[in-house]
Amino acid sequence: MEKIFSSCPVLECFTIDGLLGFNDVLNFNISVPQLKTLRLEFNLSCLGQNSKHTFFINCPKLESLDIKQDILSNYSFENVKSLVKANVNLWCHYVRHQRAFSNRATALLALFSNGGCLPAFDNLSELKLVLHDCYHWDLLTELLKRSPNLEYLVVEHKEDISCFKDYIMHENYLKYVLYSEHRWRKPESVPVCLISHLKTITIRGYKGYPHEKKVAKYLLKKGQVLSKITICNGLSKDFAMSRRASKACQLEFI
């Protein structure tokens, strides 16, 4: 792969799409000075749960990042200060992998900086976050806190039938995955983006689960400059009495 990059010094757009092998240890070094758009999409067989794949990325001019994976790889970013758009689509097929998956997802964000904690995405104005049932909503909280200039937010909730495989009874799935109190923890203080920049929010795949209601009502209550919130598959009665921080905010249900 390094030979490809050395042969294309002015490469601006690059996509890697494929199926990662199982029980392999692979390192990908993506160092491209002029790269502006990077798309990474991988699926990993359930047999490859012990695989270790690491992406080392050094792209100082990277503006758009698109990551889609199930069993999340490790990521190390040296320089992404130019990033303005991120689309992160993560899912975990097996609940028993949830803890490791969550840790890697948090590390993915933390490694955007040289420090050990999550950085501030000062230039990020547009974010789409796709969450699956086997995955926590905690990332949304962290991203809101660290994206002070965020203007457009899309949150998509997808149900994955494979999540049921680790539970014999559907009631256990509802208890431990859907209705867990740890599914949404609001920030201790209102994120800056909700106070001064966030204008448009779209929530897709709304099912009416408790954690979904909490998220939607919190955004509606704290978004002081919101102009529109669109809830797909939502029920208007869930928000009939909800407080709105922005008098100009329109609620749309489709």
**Rounded-to-integer distance, Cα 174 and Cα 193, Å:** 32
**Rounded-to-integer distance, Cα 27 and Cα 75, Å:** 10
Asked if 163 and 41 sit in the same domain, the reply is no
Residue 114 CB-half CA count within 13 A = 4
Asked if 119 and 243 sit in the same domain, the reply is yes
Residue 93 in this model has a pLDDT that exceeds 90: no
Asked if 39 and 124 sit in the same domain, the reply is no
124, 145 in Cβ contact below 8 A?
no
Q: Where among 42, 59, 76 does a domain terminate? A: 59
Asked if 95 and 136 sit in the same domain, the reply is yes
**What is the residue range of 155's domain?**
84-253
- Domain contains 73: no
For 47, the token pair is: 């047999």
- Domain contains 106: yes
The model's pLDDT over 204-239, given as tens digits with 9 standing for 90+, comes to 988 777 778 888 899 999 999 999 999 887 666 777
Asked if 151 and 35 sit in the same domain, the reply is no
Q: Please tell me the chain's helix, strand, coil percentages from 3-state DSSP, rounded to the nearest 5.
A: 30, 30, 40
Residue 133 in this model has a pLDDT that exceeds 70: no
**Rounded-to-integer distance, Cα 138 and Cα 184, Å:** 6
Q: Distances in Å between the alpha carbon of 52 and those of 1, 13, 188?
A: 18, 26, 35
C-beta atoms surrounding 45 within 10 Å: 15
Asked if 115 and 172 sit in the same domain, the reply is yes
Stronger pLDDT, 79 or 49, i.e. the higher one: 79
Q: How many domains does the chain have?
A: 2
Return the H-helix or E-strand segment holding 145.
helix 138-145
Asked if 92 and 43 sit in the same domain, the reply is no
- Domain contains 78: no
pLDDT at position 254, please? 85
Asked if 12 and 94 sit in the same domain, the reply is no
Asked if 45 and 122 sit in the same domain, the reply is no
Residue 200: which of 101, 132, 109, 128 has the closest Cα? 128
For 154, the token pair is: 């899309």
- Domain contains 147: yes
- Domain contains 68: no
- Domain contains 75: no
**Which amino acid appears at position 66 of this protein?**
D
Asked if 6 and 94 sit in the same domain, the reply is no
Residue 201: which of 249, 141, 135, 145 has the closest Cα? 249
Q: Provide the pLDDT confidence category of residue 108 given band limits of 50, 70 and 90.
A: low
Asked if 53 and 135 sit in the same domain, the reply is no
Residue 110 in this model has a pLDDT that exceeds 70: no
Asked if 91 and 43 sit in the same domain, the reply is no
- For a pLDDT cut of 70, what percent of the chain falls above it? 67
- pTM for the model stands at 0.60
Q: Provide the pLDDT confidence category of residue 125 given band limits of 50, 70 and 90.
A: very high
- Domain contains 72: no
For 143, the token pair is: 């991203």
